[in-house]
Amino acid sequence: MSKITIREVSGKKGTDEFVDVMWKLYDQKTYPQWVPPLRMAAYENLDTVKNPFFKRATMQLFIAEKDGKIVGRIAAVQNPAHNEFHNDKVGFYGCYESTDDQEVANALFKAAEAWLKPRGLTSMMGPMNPSTNHECGLLVRGQSQHPTCMTTWNPKFYETLHDNYGLTKAKDLVAYFVAREKNVELPEKVQNYVKKLRAENSNVKFRDFDVKNFDAEVDKCFEIYNSAWEKNWGFFPMTHEEFKFAAKDMKMFLDPRMAFMAEVDGKPAGFMLAMPDFNYILKRIPNGKLFPTGIFKLLIGKKMLKTVRVITLGVKPEFQGSGIFALFTYEAFERANKFGYLGGEASWILEDNVGMNKPWQDMGAPLYRRWRIYEKQL
Q: Which CATH number goes with the domain that contains 344?
A: 3.40.630.30
Domain span holding position 32? 4-174
Does residue 42 lie in a domain region? yes
**Number of folded domains in the chain?**
2
Q: Are residues 170 and 181 in the same domain?
A: no
Instruction: Please tell me whether residues 189 and 236 are part of one structural domain.
Output: yes
pLDDT in tens, the chain (378 residues): 689 999 999 999 999 999 999 999 998 899 999 999 999 999 999 999 999 999 999 999 999 999 999 999 999 999 999 999 999 999 999 999 999 999 999 999 999 999 999 999 999 999 999 999 999 999 999 999 999 999 999 999 999 999 999 999 999 999 999 887 655 566 677 778 778 878 888 888 999 999 999 999 999 999 999 888 878 899 999 999 999 999 988 888 899 999 999 998 888 999 999 999 999 999 999 999 988 888 889 888 888 999 999 999 889 998 887 788 888 888 888 898 889 999 899 999 999 998 889 888 887 889 999 999 999 999
What is the number of residues in the chain? Answer: 378
Tell whether 188 and 167 lie within a shared domain. Answer: no
Q: Do the domain assignments include residue 87?
A: yes
Can you name the residues that pair with 207 across neighbouring β-strands?
261
Same domain, 181 and 150: no
| Inter-residue contact 170 to 373 (CB < 8 Å) | yes
* pLDDT confidence of residue 252: 84
Q: Does 130 fall in a domain?
A: yes
One domain, residues 277 and 357: yes
Query: CA quadruple 226, 228, 230, 235: dihedral positive or negative?
Result: negative
End-of-domain residue from the set 117, 150, 174: 174
pLDDT at 355: 82
Q: Please state the pTM of the whole predicted model.
A: 0.93
In a domain? residue 133: yes
> Which residue among 155, 174, 193 closes a domain?
174
Alpha carbon distance 356, 310 (integer Å): 12
| 200 and 279 inside one domain | yes
> Which residue, of 153, 174, 195, is where some domain finishes?
174
- 74 Cβ partners below 8 Å, 6+ apart? 61, 62, 64, 93, 94, 95, 96, 97, 108, 109, 111, 112
Which backbone phi and psi does 341 adopt, to 5 degrees?
-80, 140
